[in-house]
Structure 1
């Protein structure tokens, strides 16, 4: 699971009574077995989303294709962050199963602590990145509905740099100046609270911000459709209702996966002196299951494999790459021939120049089909199709 509780346990003293009560539960075979199974499922779901896809529909407009591409890119980066976070959980749980002496033997505690710190930091960072990508997906929906867009470079800066700042702030305060963070002399509000805030603030922002962004995105949908087409048909109503349902499910999935973490933090900070251990263990097992399964649930609610795309087979990918390479070679050959003809025109005499000019014209005529977008040289009329709000909404279907 992704929790600052485990990150604080990474610096537990081997002689601390707290380690005897709670660290043993994290080191237990059932807990780590559940974590490994959930992380493997999360990795599988994330890999499925990251796999490249090809469009099987040839009737979609250029604008709609552009919008779909934006949505898929955000979903893929979200899946990549999920993949790395689930991998961190898998490594940490496997290491705990392999070395059950962490927190019990002074001579082995330091190595176990560093493994715990590195993997927990990895999990913290990449799950924070998933919160950012989830928020930016909702923001992108709102901007597209307003016919606006932000460069994906800005999205990447936010999604990869903000987690760095939050993680470093929380973990450095927690682990410095020493790893004995559970000493009685330590002020928990100074040592622990910043790390908890760096973990929970992004979750709360998504829980509050995403429903608001989706509501704002759809608040004027009917009005925009009416202004664009002069009508609001049953078909368009079904599209809008379906997407409202989809975005509601996206919010439900996020709440399902991360609400236990918020509950865990509230319970720990309000009942620290008298923790309800049974309740806390139940919450920890829920987090161990639901946090990695975010990638699996995202496969369903985001539907990165929509109806007009499919995952190509390896043989199809190889054939397409070979055709692309062959086409590029033909174009380069034609360009070289044309350049040779131009050189002959410049260096030859008048009669030779006339002959070269004829050859160049012939070569140019032969090369034209290779360079034109369409065989008849005309522009694709569908690329000029008006992008209505319904087309824009279907980007996320």
Structure 2
């Protein structure tokens, strides 16, 4: 089985609380993704998005990778890996440098220096930086610049969004992936990946919020002017709804999850009270019946709590705009009927449910909100791959010549 050709194929690994997903895609020249492999297994070893058992997590990752390998026909050696958890923090910061060089032409080295300047923030010893994401560059006071390389100026500034994480959580994630026999190409914040998968270009530019309701967490990303403005992870998600059903209806958790997927709907006022459904008893001894309205009355308070916390986090972002792109719900929890309607009332924004699109190959396998993060990791990886190729294209001729000569000399004296 051949290994992944780094210039053509990317792999994304989403290690969630309820499932581990490995997705593989071919990257076409114009950047379009063709899905060629997918592996999904029940998650083990995580609680609220944080790894609590490295060995069980590594086993789940290895099984998901093996499934994706069989489907794609490629050996997976590395992947872009998502990171989440309530330990995630983010902030906005600026960096400023003077442009070096005789002609005041901005070089890639100047961009590196200004990004390094933006990284200088007060950081506790137990935390580390995951992302330094440039939103825009400013050259001599002129803002809105996406790529300043080649421009002329004396002062270069950058506005960035910096994401930090608990160092212990990062190390446990890296160990789990490496123990499964894989290398980490890059850690990618889950809500950032989800935003890449479900937002339209106009929404990214005007301002929108992505709310990814997963099993153990609810992830929030405020995106505006084409970049990430704010990110947060709440330690509550669909598993808490399942738990409420299990307690409220007196049924095992496995049956509560099945009931949630097959029968649950909100708001309570829209659900008929004359429709009954069978509910297995705890211990497997018979069953009892409850109305769908009662089921809705058990679910709705938890959903309202989650959405209220999301609304509070959006306020904490201190975004000055109006978010005309509204809110985009995604993740498995967004599939709950009536979720978008209730979210619109609580968030006071226009709301839609978002799923990955503009994909080729086996796109039908991942074109649901539940795979938003997995597809977003592939998009992020493809974009990073494109930047690496562009950087290689800017490499000076003498560098390529020296590389050729080293290879020729190595072969000559072997």
Pair in the same fold by TM > 0.5:
no
Higher strand share: 2
* TM-score normalised per structure 1: 0.27
* TM-score normalised per structure 2: 0.26
Larger Rg: 1
Higher helix share: 1
Return the structure number with greater relative CO, CA threshold 8 A, min gap 6: 1
